Amino acid sequence: MEGGGILVTLAPLILMFVVFYFLLIRPQQKRQKQVKQMQDDLQKGDNIVTIGGMHGVVHAIDEGTIVIIAGDTKLTYDRTSIRDVKSDV
């Protein structure tokens, strides 16, 4: 077998890994970075939505936790449980 034969054999496998990286892994890493940045930028008074779907307003922020006011109730959540910051009130 020639020296280039193994390269021809492995080319489809290498191409599959490259396509997999650019279509699945890289966009997921980019999204995780955006979510982390959003969670780090939270401020008191922000209107937020948790991953459970609860809507509320940020009352207090600690390193790993956040206190949310929803109606007349104050609830404590992990920062990682914040899914979105709503821009409209």
What local confidence, expressed as pLDDT, does residue 6 receive? 86
**Backbone dihedral angles phi then psi of residue 10, each to the nearest 5 degrees:** -85, -15
Q: What are phi and psi of 81, to 5 degrees?
A: -85, 0
Q: Copy the structure tokens of residue 4.
A: 């280039």
- Taking the domain 43-89, which CATH number applies? 2.30.30.100
3-class SS of residue 18 = helix
The confidence score (pLDDT) of residue 45 equals 92
For residue 46, what are its two tokens?
Answer: 């922000």
Q: What is the pTM of this model?
A: 0.67
Q: Where are the domains of the chain?
A: 1-41, 43-89
pLDDT at res. 67:
95
Mean pLDDT per 10-residue segment, the chain (89 residues): 75 93 93 92 93 94 92 93 83
- pLDDT of the residue at 87: 79
Q: At 83, phi and psi to the nearest 5?
A: -90, -40
